[in-house]
Amino acid sequence: MTSYARTMTRDNELGGGVAMAAVAAMIAALFAGSTALTPLYVIYKQAFGFSQVTLTLVYAVYVVGNLAALLFFGRLSDVIGRRPAAMAAMAVAVVSALSFLFAENLAWLDIARILSGLGIGIGAGTGTAWLAELIEGEDKSRAAIVATSTNFLGLGLGALISGLLAEYAPWPLRLTFAVYLALLALVTLLIWRTRETVSEPGRLSDVPMRPRLSVPDSIRARFVAPAVTGFGAMALVGFYAALAPSVLAQQLHVTNHAEAGALFFELSVVTAATILATARLASRTVMLAALVLMIPTVAIVVAAQVFASMAIMIIATALCGVAAALGYRGGLQVVNQIAPAKRRAEVVSAFFVCCFCGNALPVIGIGVLSSWTNATVASLAFAGMITIFSLVALGFGARYAR
């Protein structure tokens, strides 16, 4: 079969490597929308006059959309097909971007964030399954590696480009989302042309809407370590996505929006590179390594604030990227290994709920505590929480290692 034939399938649909690139671009574009706000939070805070606590709530409300997608639309693409589900996710992302573009108050931001989480929740699961079906051969593990690394690259690029536009271009709260809408339009066209892999798609009415989420009694003790690891890994990402710009401005006296975006870009690139570099390492080893690494990492994050050192913060960011990558990838793979085959999707969904909670709840706690005391004390409390959780997870991981 020629290269052209592998690329263009029936009715001029995209296939082969081009189709995989299109789906990967969709995942990256969706996640880029969630961090486009990272360098803009400080600007929104000034423009709309809300507090640090409110800022963290704007960030965390995104998880509402994630959970809705996970609980109610987890099987959407299995039933109606990958392409229709992906197109639905892109449509939700477009509405979210439009809401940001025309936002005039806090309510607009909350609605846009919820929609962003919903679109990502639908699109990420759809894209990962689609990649696995587009990959030729028996080994489908590459789909998870591509999906997760692309996920973090999208997060990083969203923050970097937004920071550059906010610092060096006009209309920072408008231009960012105008550019993002153009990107979504291009990716949507590619997805519309990409080959469908579900042979007999059903109807939307066939999608089961009853949420089901639990962990079997037989694996609950072994589930604790990966669940806490996922919580901690995403807590590190949430800290940087929501609070790093404020930390830079208040503690390190760095007010350049491009630098704030670049810091999160560093985290994301290190995370993606670590996922790729450690793909062949044993999942439980990776998970336990993440738990050990989280403890000195959060200590260095606090040290960067105490000493107001950008150099220390850059080192801390790289370590956070490694810890987040090892924790997320290792935890997910351990869950896949211990889950009973007939309940694997349900157990994996429970793991993702832990990740989403880790991404949101500590950020809210830091915001509340910093309003009562100061940002350094709040970060110390965050470091203490991560340390305790890591030690507990290490205990369970060592005791129930199989």
Alpha carbons 132 and 22: distance in angstroms, whole number: 14
Least confident interval from 37-46, 87-96, 132-141: 132-141
Alpha carbons 337 and 332: distance in angstroms, whole number: 9
Alpha carbons 268 and 176: distance in angstroms, whole number: 19
- List all residues 6 or more positions away from 213 whose beta carbon is below 8 Å from its beta carbon: 71, 346, 349, 350, 353
Please spell the DSSP secondary structure of 278-342, one letter per residue. TTTS-HHHHHHHHHHHHHHHHHHHHHHHHTT-HHHHHHHHHHHHHHHHHHHHHHHHHHHHHS-GG
HSE value, Cβ hemisphere, 13 Å, CA-based, for 32: 27
Least confident interval from 19-23, 56-60, 102-106, 139-143: 139-143
Helices 141-168, 172-193: inter-axial angle, 10-degree rounding: 150
Q: What is the mean pLDDT of the chain?
A: 88
Please spell the DSSP secondary structure of 177-245, one letter per residue. HHHHHHHHHHHHHHHHHBPP--SS---GGGS---------GGGHHHHHHHHHHHHHHHHHHHIIIIIHH
pLDDT higher than threshold 90 for residue 109: yes
Residue pair 194/83 in contact by the 8 Å Cβ criterion: yes
The pLDDT value given to residue 171: 93
Q: What residue spans of 36-140 are helical by DSSP H?
A: 41-48, 52-60, 62-72, 76-80, 82-101, 106-134
Q: Give pLDDT tens digits for 20-76.
A: 999 999 999 999 999 999 999 999 998 998 888 899 999 999 999 988 888 888 778
Q: In this prediction, what percent of the chain has a pLDDT beyond 70?
A: 92
Mean pLDDT value across residues 85-97: 96
Q: What are phi and psi of 186, to 5 degrees?
A: -65, -45
Better-predicted residue by pLDDT, 6 or 59 = 59
The pLDDT value given to residue 345: 61
Residue pair 28/157 in contact by the 8 Å Cβ criterion: yes
Q: Give pLDDT tens digits for 173-231.
A: 999 999 999 999 999 999 999 998 887 877 877 777 776 667 888 888 889 999 999 99
pLDDT higher than threshold 50 for residue 5: no
SS3 137: coil
Please spell the DSSP secondary structure of 236-248, one letter per residue. HHHIIIIIHHHHH
Q: Give pLDDT tens digits for 250-273.
A: 889 999 999 999 999 999 999 999
pLDDT higher than threshold 70 for residue 138: no
Residue pair 328/354 in contact by the 8 Å Cβ criterion: no
Mean pLDDT value across residues 374-380: 88
Closest listed residue to residue 247, CA positions, set 27, 9, 10, 38: 38
Residue pair 120/31 in contact by the 8 Å Cβ criterion: yes
- List all residues 6 or more positions away from 130 whose beta carbon is below 8 Å from its beta carbon: 23, 77, 82, 86, 194, 197
Which residues is 14 bridged to in the sheet? 8, 194
**pLDDT band, very low/low/confident/very high, at 1 (cuts 50, 70, 90):** very low
**pLDDT band, very low/low/confident/very high, at 3 (cuts 50, 70, 90):** very low
- The length of the chain is 402
SS3 14: strand
Q: What are phi and psi of 40, to 5 degrees?
A: -95, -15
DSSP 8-state class, residue 8: B
pLDDT higher than threshold 60 for residue 139: no
Token pair recorded at residue 73 = 């639309």
Better-predicted residue by pLDDT, 333 or 228 = 228
Alpha carbons 257 and 235: distance in angstroms, whole number: 22
The pLDDT value given to residue 37: 93
Least confident interval from 109-118, 198-207, 235-244, 305-314: 198-207
**pLDDT band, very low/low/confident/very high, at 6 (cuts 50, 70, 90):** very low
Q: In this prediction, what percent of the chain has a pLDDT beyond 90?
A: 54
Mean pLDDT value across residues 121-142: 78
Among all chains, which residue has been given the structure tokens 């229709």? Answer: 84
**pLDDT band, very low/low/confident/very high, at 400 (cuts 50, 70, 90):** low
